[in-house]
């Protein structure tokens, strides 16, 4: 897009320079072609060159506005993509914290509970960690006998 915009700008400047040169040289061209009414011929040539210049200016401004609109759209797209990427990174960070909490749950307890109070403490510990990870108001902990 930038290359096209530069090309368009360079083309416009080239056309304007050529038109200015043609305006300066137009009296000599009219005399060289040897028109009957040189003043009228010069007027017509200058008028056509100025019309060509205004037409080039009109198309250049029109294309410039289109490129500016495209740039604004791309900037908006970039900000939305950046916001989505930031949200994804936040989510990944939250998942990393949850994974660390899960691993700490299973590495924290060193021995099996031997009394009801120890079992209650272990289950309370598990439920607190699970509540923190799940970000919920309540949790249901189910103990399953894997031997059956």
Each residue's pLDDT tens digit, 121-141: 888 888 887 887 777 788 887
Confidence band of 76 (pLDDT split at 50, 70, 90) = very high
Looking at mean pLDDT, say which of 36-40, 72-76, 125-129 comes out highest.
72-76
Between residues 105 and 90, the one the model is more confident about: 90
Judged by DSSP in three states, 58 sits in helix
83 pLDDT above the threshold of 90: yes
The pTM of the full predicted model, rounded to 2 decimals, is 0.53
Q: Which helix (H) or strand (E) holds 27?
A: helix 2-33
136: phi > 0 → left, psi -120 to 50 → alpha, else beta; which?
beta
């Amino acid at each position: 897009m930038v290359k096209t915009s530069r090309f368009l700008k360079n083309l416009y400047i080239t056309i304007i320079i050529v038109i200015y040169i043609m305006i300066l040289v137009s009296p000599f061209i009219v005399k060289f072609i040897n028109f009957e009414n040189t003043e009228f011929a010069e007027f017509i040539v200058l008028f056509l060159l100025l019309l060509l210049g205004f037409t080039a200016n009109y198309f250049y401004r029109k294309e410039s506005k289109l490129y500016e609109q495209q740039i604004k759209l791309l900037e908006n797209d970039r900000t939305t993509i950046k916001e989505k990427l930031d949200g994804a990174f936040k989510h990944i960070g939250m998942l990393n914290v949850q994974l660390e909490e899960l691993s700490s749950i299973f590495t924290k307890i060193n021995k099996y509970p031997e009394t009801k109070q120890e079992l209650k403490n272990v289950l309370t510990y598990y439920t607190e960690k699970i509540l923190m990870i799940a970000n919920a108001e309540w949790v249901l902990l189910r103990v399953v006998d894997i031997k059956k």
